[in-house]
Structure 1
Amino acid sequence: MSNSYLTIEQVNKRFNTGKTSNDVLRDINLKIERGEYISIIGHSGCGKSTVLNIVAGLLDASDGVVILDGKEVKGPGPERSMVFQNHSLLPWLTVYENVAIAVNKVFGSSMGKAERDEWVRYNLNLVNMTHALHQRPDEISGGMKQRVGIARALSMQPKVLLLDEPFGALDALTRAHLQDEVMRIQNELKNTVMMITHDVDEAVLLSDRIVMMTNGPAATIGEVLDIDLPRPRDRIALADDPTYNRYRQAVLRFLYEKQRKVEKSAA
């Protein structure tokens, strides 16, 4: 058994539809160390979200196993918290209450009321949202909603933070600000992070490694690219960095070649 913090081992996923069986993932093997930031990238339909949902415990693998910190993943749990592309906030609760509901659920029996209050405020402060404690989701911007979603996920003190295209629905400027916030928080808390993205620049900027998926059906891991760029990272400085651009080109080349194979097979 691997000693890595998070291990995805020989994972396959099939969806049975009537008399037919559809292979979505085949032979997914990945080892992630504590504190690593991993991005999963690939064309639409390559099973990125399926991998993340299996790690989250929202889907069962057809074969194989996911091991987190020495224990097999079976079903969802607070040690794996997820941030979706849609913020998923409860519209009738305030910003404070949306985080507090998670804190109360996870720590209600182990923290006193004052301590829980302090912890909610601490996590909202991490994402610079203490100014909006008593506002409801429809009273704040899309970027602010995502900040609250991240604060809620962090408030559960997860062993792994799972991000499912968390910036995909945001405008470019808001996305850049939130990426910088996530880098700052990850540098401060040393979270282990798995993120799905379609954005090559985002993957290179944020990640320690980029996992590149082949196209489905029966998608698997095609390549894993180590991103050896010093932290903290400055997006402006990196724009002209030859190493950054070499990594970017490597990911684009992989995605382009996979797409060409699909187009040739369809011709």
Structure 2
Amino acid sequence: MDTQEHLRISKVGKIFKTSSGQYEALRDVDLAIEKGEFVSIIGHSGCGKSTLLNLVAGLEPLSYGAISLDGQIIKGPGPDRAVVFQNHSLLPWLTVYENVRLAVDKIFTGTRADGQRHDWVMANLELVNMEHAAHKRPAEISGGMKQRVGIARALSMEPKVLLMDEPFGALDALTRGHLQDSVMEIHARLGNTVIMITHDVDEAALLSDRIIMMSNGPAAGIGQISRVNVPRPRHRVELVEDPDYLSARAAVLRFLHEHRSEVAA
């Protein structure tokens, strides 16, 4: 992995104006993410995980601080940061191919010929094993397949950072496991930088290089960071007795348990 600092979150805060006054969701979040790193963000509900992801995506303005990507300050959404949401957000009247082609045309019209754009769409569908369903519409495929298309659409933009907001949260356990394995394979092949929000401790430990544990809101911040010192490629069956995997998993469980009483209060 390239150890070059890639994404820099510098003393970031986010304050929302509400009917009952100001609500400070995040306070002084400071984090550096390396190029090619897979980072998971985990914490109890209301700790600002999705807010932080939206700030990196440029979907929400910062209240203070700065976020930069390769030295350039992020001031809004851009194709260098693609988002995969829990809801796949596919357009139901378009085919699988057309949903991905829409993103490709948006980014590459003017720089790639029509045939090149077609080949690029198919290459990304093949990457997520969905080329066979290219001409089906979202209503004709399963939830897991829809998420694969959503991932293909995001990757087709050639983003520097892939942002994933609980992408497998609405899926059954078997489908979720298959997609986790697919994401690991894609990350290994592309070496892309990934930030993923999850509530699943096992998922975080399986996929991540580092796990960022958020303290509880309001004024949430980074409570603890755990590095997963497990070599890749990883195979879930082999990890059951791996001491480094178990140590990373235990650190997250301990942190969440220690902060559980704060949520109840």
Q: Would you say same fold, with TM above 0.5?
A: yes
CA shift, 1:242, in A, is 2.2
The separation in 1 between residues aligned to 2:7 and 2:79, in whole angstroms, is 15
The separation in 1 between residues aligned to 2:185 and 2:29, in whole angstroms, is 30
> Matched residue of 2:82: which SS?
strand
The match for 2:245 is 244
The separation in 2 between residues aligned to 1:245 and 1:228, in whole angstroms, is 10
The separation in 2 between residues aligned to 1:74 and 1:243, in whole angstroms, is 38
CA shift, 1:260, in A, is 2.1
Higher mean Cα deviation, 153-162 or 10-19? 10-19
Q: Is residue 78 of structure 2 the alignment partner of residue 77 of structure 1?
A: yes
The separation in 2 between residues aligned to 1:138 and 1:257, in whole angstroms, is 43
The match for 1:67 is 68
Displaced runs of 4+ in structure 1, greater than 3 A?
Answer: none
The match for 2:53 is 52
For the 8 Å contact 2:40–2:195, the answer to whether it is kept is yes
The match for 1:143 is 144
The match for 2:122 is 121
Percent sequence identity over aligned pairs: 64
CA shift, 1:18, in A, is 4.4
The match for 1:256 is 257
The separation in 2 between residues aligned to 1:179 and 1:124, in whole angstroms, is 17
Q: Residues 114 and 15 of structure 1: is their aligned pair in 2 closer, same or farther, counting only changes over 3 Å? A: same
CA shift, 1:250, in A, is 0.7
TM-score (norm 2): 0.97
The separation in 2 between residues aligned to 1:4 and 1:245, in whole angstroms, is 28
> Matched residue of 2:248: which SS?
helix
The separation in 2 between residues aligned to 1:19 and 1:144, in whole angstroms, is 42
The match for 2:166 is 165
The separation in 2 between residues aligned to 1:19 and 1:178, in whole angstroms, is 41
The match for 1:36 is 37
The one-letter amino acid of 1:122's match is A
The separation in 2 between residues aligned to 1:209 and 1:161, in whole angstroms, is 15
The separation in 1 between residues aligned to 2:262 and 2:137, in whole angstroms, is 47
| Residue ranges of structure 1 left out of the alignment (5+ in a row) | none
The separation in 1 between residues aligned to 2:263 and 2:174, in whole angstroms, is 33
The one-letter amino acid of 2:195's match is M
The one-letter amino acid of 2:57's match is A
Q: Is residue 180 of structure 2 the alignment partner of residue 179 of structure 1?
A: yes
The one-letter amino acid of 1:186's match is H
The separation in 2 between residues aligned to 1:4 and 1:10, in whole angstroms, is 16
For the 8 Å contact 2:14–2:25, the answer to whether it is kept is yes
CA shift, 1:194, in A, is 0.4
The one-letter amino acid of 2:127's match is L
The match for 1:99 is 100
Higher mean Cα deviation, 13-22 or 189-198? 13-22
For the 8 Å contact 2:228–2:244, the answer to whether it is kept is no
| Residue ranges of structure 2 left out of the alignment (5+ in a row) | none
> Matched residue of 1:216: which SS?
coil
> Matched residue of 2:5: which SS?
coil
TM-score (norm 1): 0.97
The separation in 1 between residues aligned to 2:250 and 2:19, in whole angstroms, is 42
The match for 1:193 is 194
Higher mean Cα deviation, 242-251 or 25-34? 242-251
CA shift, 1:261, in A, is 3.4
Q: Is residue 223 of structure 2 the alignment partner of residue 216 of structure 1?
A: no
> Matched residue of 1:5: which SS?
strand
| Cα RMSD after superposing both structures | 0.9
> Matched residue of 1:87: which SS?
coil
The separation in 2 between residues aligned to 1:57 and 1:230, in whole angstroms, is 32
The separation in 1 between residues aligned to 2:10 and 2:254, in whole angstroms, is 27
The one-letter amino acid of 1:133's match is A
The match for 1:228 is 229
